[in-house]
Structure 1
Amino acid sequence: MTDPVSAPAGRPRVALFVTCLVDLYRPTVGFAAIQLLEEAGCIVEVPRAQTCCGQPAYNTGDRATAADLARRVVDEFLGYDHVVAPSGSCAGMIAHHYPALFADDPEYRGKAEALAARTHELTQFLADVVRADTTRARYDGVAAYHDSCSGLRELGVRVQPRRLLAAVPGLTVRDLAEPELCCGFGGTFCVKYPDISTRMVTDKVADIRGTGADTLLAGDMGCLLNMAGRLKREGSEIRVRHVAEVLAGMTDRVAPIGEAEER
C-alpha cells in the first residue's frame, strides 16, 4: 500500500486515479487534473502501482478478475482523504460498484465502502468539495457538452462541469437536444454490438452538430474517443476535448482528440 505524504492542516491529500485510457491515449488530461487539484489547494499524489479499476472485467461478468484488480486499487488508495478520477466511468466503478463487488468479502467489504465514500469524479470534486475557481482559464468558442452515462446516472454529475465551465471567459456552453442518450461506447458494448453502437454514435453526432458548437466537451475518454472518431469519419471540424484540458487552460499544449498526437 502506498504511504501518502503528510499534508499541511486544511490541505486535503488527494490521490489521482489516472484511468487506463488517460494513461494510454491522453496523458495531458492527467496533467490537467493534477494542475486543477493543486490550484484548488490539494496535495496530489499519483500512486504508481495503480492499474485498471476492473470495470471491463466486471461488465463482462468476470467478477473474479474484477475483484483481484479492485483489491489492488483499494490497497493503494484507501489511505488518502479523497480519490479523484477524470472519468465518471472509473469513479462510478469504485464509488458505486466496489461495495457490491465485495459484499460477501469480510476482509474488503468495509474497506471498499470507505473508499467508495471518498471517491469522486473530477468536476464533481472541484465543484462540490473544494469549490474550485476556474476563471484563470480562457477558451474562445462554443461548446456542446456530453454527459457520460456512468457519471450522470451513478454519480449525479451534470451541473458540476457546467458550473465550472460557466466561469471560463470566452466560452459558451450549449446543451444537446437529448443530453441523456448514450453515445454508444459503453466499454465492451461497442465491441459486442458494433452495429447498434455505430447507430447510437451517429445519432449523437447529429445532435452535437445541431447545436452549432465548434467544440465538443465531456469528462470521459471512452465517450470522447468514440465521438471524435465518428466526427472525423463524417468530415466534421468540431474540436473534441476533455473538460479538464479546458478548465486547466491546456488547450494550446495538445491537439484536439482524434486529430494528432500530443505536441
Structure 2
Amino acid sequence: MPEDIPSPLCRAVDLLQAVFYAWREARLHWKLHDYKADGDKLRVYVSYLSTGTLDGIRGVFDTFPELNRHSPEGRAILAFCGCDDPMSYLSNICRKVFDTIDMTVEEIAAEMLASLKYVVEHNVDKGGSEDQTSYEHSFYRVLTASGQRFAIDLSCAQYGIQQPVMVWHEYMDKFVEDVKEVNGFGSYEEGTSNSARWLRTMADDMDGAVDAWEMQHLSLADLLQLEEPEYQKLKESLADEIKCAVKAGLRNRYRRWNLPKDTSRLTLSERTTSSTI
C-alpha cells in the first residue's frame, strides 16, 4: 500500500479495480488472436466482434491459458480500450464505493504522454497493420475533505502503469500531456446512456449481480471495513458473481434472439431488431 495514499482510498480503489477487471473479462468486444512482448511494448493482434455472436463468451484466459490475469500483460490486455468503462458502465458501483469516503469526484479527459504507449494494436481485419492512433484517456480526480487530490485510473495498466491511485501532481507530472476536459461525476454516463444498447444491458446485468451479492453477503460499504483475509475472499466472490452474471445475460439474449421464429408477422423494425442481441 503506497504510504502517501489514505488507507480507505487504497481499499476503495482496490475493490473497484477488481470489479473493473471482472467486467472487462466478461464484456470484451474484441477477440485476441495473439500477443507478444516487444521491448517496452505489448503487441496485441485483435479483431472486433459483432454484437450478435457469442465469441466474447470464450475469454482471453481460456484461449491463452498461459496468460496470467494478474500479470502486467494480462491486466494490460483487459484494460486495453477500456478507459471509458468506469464512467460509462461502472458508475453505479463506483458511486456506492466513492460514497464511503468524504470526497469530491471529477471525471477527467486527457491526452497522455506519447512515450507511455504500452499496448500496440494490430487489427487482423485490416491485415494486422499497426495502429498509430493516439487516444485520449479518461480517469477520475478526487479531492478529499482534508484537501488532498488524487488520480484514480482503473484502466492504467494499458499504459504500463501499475498503481491505479496516485497523488494528483505525481500522476500529472509522470503521465499526462494535457487535460482536455473536467466534468462532474456522472457526466460521462449521461452522455453515453443511449448509445451501445447491448453494453448498457450488460452493465444492467452487472448492477443486478452486485445488488444480489450485497443482499446475500453484505453491502460494499461493509465489505470495505473487513479485515484483509475476509475482504480478499469476498472481493473475489463478488468478481466471480459479476463475470458469471454478465456472461449468462449475453448467452441468454443470444439464444432468445436467435430462436427460429415466424418473421412474417413482425414489423420491419422488429425484424431488424431480432437479428441482433
> TM-score scaled to structure 2, two decimals?
0.25
> TM-score scaled to structure 1, two decimals?
0.26
More strand by share: 2
Structure number with the bigger relative contact order (C-alpha 8 A, sep ≥ 6) is 2
